[in-house]
Amino acid sequence: CMREYKALKCFDSDHIVKAKLVFDLDSCIVMEDLGDTTLADRLRSTKDFSEAEALGIFLDLITGLEHMHEHGWVHNDFKPNNIMLKSNGQAVIVDLGLAKQEAEKGGVGGGNMKFASPAYLQFELFSSKSDIYTFGLVMLFWHKKLYMSQWAEHYKHPTQDILDFVA
């Protein structure tokens, strides 16, 4: 909790969650209300993203990560569950509990192995490169989900479509 608060007080970006109140540095931080929809929730839903909405989210996330990196911090747990989507469509990076200052030595600290960078897995020094790598994984995951949903919609009877294609 102390690390997260230390990181949060460094930032002034609309794309990084803001701490509103701290009760005890070892137990509770009250964050701004961002609603209850994560990028992961949206990816699990059947609602597609428009091109403009996807581009807006992409730019919001790049801007938020850039702000963190300019202040010497690495998120270290960047994944769809740690991206909140506000009702206005804006994306906000949350959960800085594993954030580290750049060049801090790595170590086991939780996170999601699906979205872990090679540096994180090898306990190397943390750098913005780790977040950029993980950002790429999130975008790949997002693209794969969108591609698969479009494929499933288009190919209602895949066997017949395949037969038609090879004929």
Which of the residues are catalytic?
A: 77
| Secondary structure of residue 105 in the 3-state scheme | strand
CB 119 within 8 Å of CB 101: no
Which pair of structure tokens corresponds to residue 154?
């288009």
Q: Buried b vs exposed e over 58-86: b needs ≥16 C-beta within 10 Å?
A: eebbebbbebbbeeebbbbbbbbebbbbe
